Chains A and B, each alone.
Chain A
Amino acid sequence: MAEAHPVGFQWVMEAKRRGAKVFHVDPRFTRTSAMADQHLALRVGTDIAFLGGLVHYVLERDRYFHDYVVNYTNAPFIVGEQFRDTEDLEGLFSGFDASAGGYKTESWQYEGTEASPSAGRRDQWQKSGQPQEGETSSHGRERASSGPERAGSGGPVYPGSPESDPTLTHPRCVFQVLKRHFARYTPEMVAQVCGISEEAFTEVAEALVTNSGPERTSAFAYSVGWTQHTVGVQYIRTASILQLLLGNIGRPGGGILALRGHASIQGSTDIPTLFNLLPGYIPMPQAHTNEDLQSFAEADGATKGYWGNMRSYLVSLLKAWWGDNATADNDYCFDYLPRLTGDHGTYQTVVDQIEGLVKGYFVIGQNPAVGSSNARQQRLGLANLEWLVVRDFNMIETATFWKDGPEIESGELATEDIGTEVFFLPAAAHTEKEGTFTNTQRMLQWHRKAVEPQGDQRSDLWFYYHLGRRIREKLTGRRPERTAEQRERDRSVLELTWDYPTEGPMAEPSPDAVLREINGTGPDGESLSGYTQLADDGSTRCGCWIYCGVYADGVNQADRRKPGNEQSWVAPEWGWAWPMNRRILYNRASADPDGRPWSERKAYVWWDTEQEQWTGHDVPDFDKKKAPDYEPDPAATGPEAIKGAEPFIMQSDGRGWLYVPAGLVDGPLPAHYEPQESPVSNPVYPNQQRNPARQIFARPENRYQPSGAERGSEVFPYLFTTFRLTEHHTAGGMSRWLSHLSELAPAMFVEVSPELAAERGLRHLDWATLVTARTAIEARVLVTERMQPLRLDGRTLHQIGIPWHWGPNGMTTGDAANELLGVALDPNVHIMETKASTCDIRPGRRPRGVELAPFVAEYRRRAGITELTGTEHADDPSLTGRDERERGNENER
């Protein structure tokens, strides 16, 4: 955190000054470790075992927050008889289909209910009563129950009320299921899997439980070190289980905080740049036949909780986009929305580029030619486009791969053979434009322009607005030549409300007007003050329902900057947090079931018995007038169906989920699986090495390595993890061209322990070559005691740290770490595993030019790597890699 989020880390230092104890769990000793009271070096890719150990510790010793767990989580709910745990099936959950490489999730449900997946395919599910397996094609598979991200701040829906045992003793209640599932995760197992001593582990566990409960709370802060794994979502799930058991959710000082990789990553999921979401976590409709607004809203609107109002959110969004053209008669232009046909995540898209299915590509503020896993695969995709638009500050590698990329050097590609037409458009920096950043606490903060952009530099807002304007002009001008079918299709663009006022000599669209549109307006054209005002009859417009209220009273609420010492400690008048300026979500959980604070020390919101309403330091995240003893009518739907003592109002049962009956594709509970590539055999589930439901691409340019006990895994004996330095930013586009940053970290390097240096003959500051099944890169060697070998079961394991900021362009250059990584993804959210893999390291520089490919091929040969290596229980390569395999065999000779 001190490395990648130094500004946020000031609050950790502040807490430390007040006596907080800071533990840093990280494979590497970083600047954060230097400030921590204790650093625990764990083996890369083993956090589920570590966190699972903490869950076990809490459950075994009855250290959980009993009243919170019984009343606010699904611990008492009874799981159906069909469910089988990893304990029963040697590392698999029930419902696994080996041929499909995925789970059928119906056996995970509660008794007496039928939980359905979050969104998207839910209507099909309801029609047939069975999940529909997606088609396997070169487009990839959007799995039937995939897409928990599409549930957003909500949760999967299930109708009916599950059976429940408040004594938590029923053998199939979630609590008992949890206890059995985590029974394996003992301190000894943690030591064996993670390489953390039992004493160190116990110290953390004890510190955590003694700092949780009615009087105290603990927080978890994590970064992509947790998410970028083939089990990334389950990492966060484990932390969620732990925090729910300890009562650390919805209370001040608690929570799980995702530290994002860039400014406003939170904002770019709220108003998404993701392929499968509409603003406010409304799922993107699928390409089904006969689907209309009503069936979509009914299928995806939860029957209980606030997602029950989804039709209002969606209709208001459609009205914001198509204005007066959206009417009840035309389903508010619902048909104008694009439809999903499968997985269109970034890695699938690159495969589709190589396959010739994608013609054009916009790359905005990203540098995939060095910044995405298996960078060579990315460049092969870029080289097979018709056109490419790159908007960035500098001539990043993604814009120049066609003339000086590694494939040109190796002779694999020739500039004259690459047909991609590249348009480079200089971008304005955040200091040259206005707008909001949304931080991890969902807080929007408005920032102002310091200087005008120079030359041809333009803001993203300018680019998209004027691009749309010009396309609309062209479509209008060519209307006479267009066919009837084309004209029909053009309507979705021509009928958009595209009328933002522009300012200044560059005709910059007004960001203020955009924020107003996002906030939404009522029938009178006045700004709305909150999403509860949204209607489903077309009378309200709102660009993102969760942001409704950011322009309440016609005032830019995100631009408020009242100093902390002039307001309460919750500081509600600094910026604006969605939803409704709530600073802590689900804060009903900060009071006990009767509505009283769990303790005076941690009082946050509570039920005022005299006023008969919820009140407190923050905006209560609950119906203001709903009494704690409210019992819904059995027939109630939407928010009215949530009890007065159920704080998790976006969940269809009002409860925090320890166990996930639907919505995840790789299991209702987290389980430790080894990374796609690991030198260790899975000690927790010996029969299940990798996440059985992980998403992989068995392709010639993306070969996987043997793992654990598999033959050939000894060829790549060292673990590595990629990391970021304070001095640089992500793939370097914002830092490698700046002299004041480049001089601070002027060369690509790798961190190794003195022991590994001795073992492999590596010398400080000399060159080393790192090799994987994909390729080899070179870097300068930094020998440091901060890297420590791990002892696991009497075996010494070495870990290598590789920063991923470098590439061939800029002031400071070097090979990109992403060349080494294969593409293996978390199946829920399609994120790549960059934080744990294996490689070889040897002294000296890598082979150059045409000598590189045979060098790597020799490694693959020694390890016995084929198209089947590392692909068990996953997409069948005979289906997905058919054509390439033949070509690939030639390439690999």
Chain B
Amino acid sequence: MSADGDNRLSGPLADPAVEAGYPPEHPERVGFFTDTSVCIGCKACEVACKEWNLLPEDGLELSGMSYDNTQDLGATTWRHVAFVEQRIDTTTRETVDIGMPDMTRPGDSSTAAVDPTEDAATQIRWLMSSDVCKHCTHAACLDVCPTGALIRTEYGTVMVQDDVCNGCGYCVPACPYGVIDTRPDTGGASKCTMCQDRLGAGETPACAAACPTESIQYGPLDELRDRAAQRVDELHEQGVTEARLYGHEPTDGVGGDGAFFLLLDEPEVYGLPPDPVVTTRDLPSMWKHAAGAALTAAVTIAACFVGGKR
């Protein structure tokens, strides 16, 4: 159970399904390990996800952000492949331009970028990464849902029940990753279900099944965490020292993600928050403080009346 004794909304949690009331013999907690070092940016995950989950097209806009025309996760986009073009120093493997957006559009500047022939110590790097709902151990969306539409499943994942959701939207600002959103067509909240309807039939989620390079790996979360640690070691041995995991730590701000990543640069570069915290973490202490404040107020008011009698 929670390390913080009475705070059940944050901190390490071994078994969120049991916490949610499933009997101990429930299925193992499952998740995604997305190894971005082998992602080829084919977007098969995006298409497979939309096909399986009957999600509509949501915009024919050329974004100009490399090959990323999806731009964001949303109510009708449950997988999103980010493309980041960088120039890195070949010896230090640090980015020359840190990959953050600036105020000018490419090509607007009259001074052309570094001449590759003159500066042979840099090279282009093109990062690709398939983002998805993190299925947090402590899911704020679920915590704030007033109708019980958002539930913890027997697999330890987080899912919206469409027929229960009333579209209040409380979950939308609660998500520390900006994943969940309400659908304009149905009004209901919507996000990745980890293909709940496939898991029951023993099938792999559609995105993982479609991934040609095993960048998206699906399986029991504990197993994935072991595999991910090995993969990082392997990459470090190969000299890819920038490889790191993201969202794998049960001690992090959301108690660890059910969907975690191997990244080759800082999370911000991929559009991921560097230090996500479940937005309901402070709820118990807020309630405590609120209760304390209420008590103080009550005592003060009572004292006033007591004083009034004097």
The residues of A with any CB-CB pair to B shorter than 8 Å are: 2, 6-7, 9-10, 13, 17, 29, 31-35, 39, 197, 725-727, 739-747, 749, 752-755, 757-758, 762-765, 780-786, 788-789, 791, 811-812
Contact = CB atoms under 8 A, between A and B. Distances in A.
B213 A757 contact: no
A749 B64 CA distance: 10
Interface string B41-56: 1111011001100001
B116 interface: yes
Contacts of A740: 46-47, 50-51, 57
Given A6-B212, A13-B38, A31-B40, A744 B124 contact: no
B105 interface: yes
Contacts of B115: 755, 789
Contact of A811 (B60, B67, B127): B60
Summarize A's interface: helix, strand, loop or mixed: mixed
Interface string B255-282: 0000000000000000000000000000
Interface residues of B, number: 46
A6 B45 CA distance: 12
B113 interface: yes
A726 B58 contact: no
Nearest to B86: A785
A448 B58 CA distance: 32
A784 B85 contact: yes
Contact of B125 (A9, A34, A754, A788): A34
Interface of B: 38, 40-44, 46-47, 50-51, 56-62, 64, 66-67, 69-70, 85, 87, 105-113, 115-117, 120, 123-128, 212-214
Contacts of A745: 67, 69
Contacts of B213: 6, 9-10, 13
Given A10-B213, A743-B57, A745-B67, A758 B107 contact: yes
B275 to A, nearest CB: 28
Nearest to B40: A2
Nearest to A745: B69
Contact of B42 (A6, A743, A764, A780): A6
B181 to A, nearest CB: 17
A262 B37 CA distance: 28
19 contacts: A6-B40, A6-B44, A13-B38, A13-B214, A35-B38, A39-B123, A740-B51, A742-B57, A743-B57, A743-B69, A745-B69, A746-B59, A746-B61, A754-B107, A765-B62, A784-B106, A785-B87, A785-B106, A785-B113
A34 B128 contact: yes
A761 to B, nearest CB: 9
A763 B107 contact: yes
B123 to A, nearest CB: 8
A289 B117 CA distance: 63
B58 A743 contact: yes
A17 B230 CA distance: 13
Contacts of B128: 31, 34
A752 B38 CA distance: 26
B40 A34 contact: yes
B126 A786 contact: yes
Which 4 residue pairs spanning A and B have beta carbons closest together?
Answer: A739-B57, A757-B107, A783-B107, A34-B126
Given A9-B213, A784-B85, A785-B87, A746 B41 contact: no
Contacts of A197: 120
A726 B81 CA distance: 13
Contacts of A765: 62, 64, 105
A789 B115 CA distance: 9
Contact of B124 (A6, A29, A725): A29
A121 to B, nearest CB: 46
A13 B40 contact: yes
Contact of B85 (A743, A744, A755, A786): A786
A725 B43 CA distance: 11
A304 to B, nearest CB: 44
Nearest to B60: A746
Given A2-B40, A31-B128, A744 B47 contact: yes
Contacts of B46: 740, 744
Given A13-B213, A754-B106, A743 B70 contact: yes
Given A740-B46, A764-B105, 9 more contacts: A9-B40, A13-B213, A34-B128, A755-B113, A757-B107, A758-B109, A758-B111, A764-B64, A786-B85
B125 A758 contact: no
Contact of A742 (B41, B60, B67, B113): B60
Contacts of A739: 56-57
Contacts of A811: 60
Interface centre among B50, B115, B126 (most CB of A within 10 A): B126
Contacts of B120: 197
Contacts of B41: 2, 31, 34, 726
A17 B43 CA distance: 21
B281 to A, nearest CB: 36
A263 B123 CA distance: 35
A783 B61 contact: no
Contacts of B87: 785
Contact of A758 (B38, B61, B112): B112
B122 to A, nearest CB: 10
A264 B115 CA distance: 43
Interface centre among B66, B125, B127, B213 (most CB of A within 10 A): B213
A743 B66 CA distance: 14
Nearest to B42: A6
Contacts of B106: 754, 757, 764, 783-785
A436 to B, nearest CB: 22
A725 B105 CA distance: 23
B108 A763 contact: yes
Contacts of A10: 212-214
A26 B44 CA distance: 24
Nearest to A7: B212
A571 B110 CA distance: 57
A786 B110 CA distance: 18
A747 B62 CA distance: 6
Contacts of A755: 112-113, 115
Contacts of A7: 212
A9 B212 contact: yes
Contacts of A791: 117
A753 B123 CA distance: 14
Contacts of A763: 105, 107-108
A770 to B, nearest CB: 16
A754 B97 CA distance: 15
B69 A746 contact: yes
A784 B86 CA distance: 10
Interface centre among B70, B123, B212 (most CB of A within 10 A): B212
A741 B57 CA distance: 9
B93 to A, nearest CB: 14
Contacts of B43: 726-727, 744
B308 to A, nearest CB: 69
A502 B85 CA distance: 55
Contacts of A812: 60
Contacts of B62: 746-747, 749, 765, 780
Contact of A781 (B107, B110, B127): B107
A757 to B, nearest CB: 4
Nearest to A200: B120
A892 B123 CA distance: 47
B230 to A, nearest CB: 12
Contacts of B70: 743-744
Contacts of A757: 106-107
B192 to A, nearest CB: 16
A799 B56 CA distance: 37
A617 to B, nearest CB: 27
B212 A762 contact: no
Interface centre among A744, A782, A789 (most CB of B within 10 A): A744
A197 B117 CA distance: 9
A753 B85 CA distance: 13
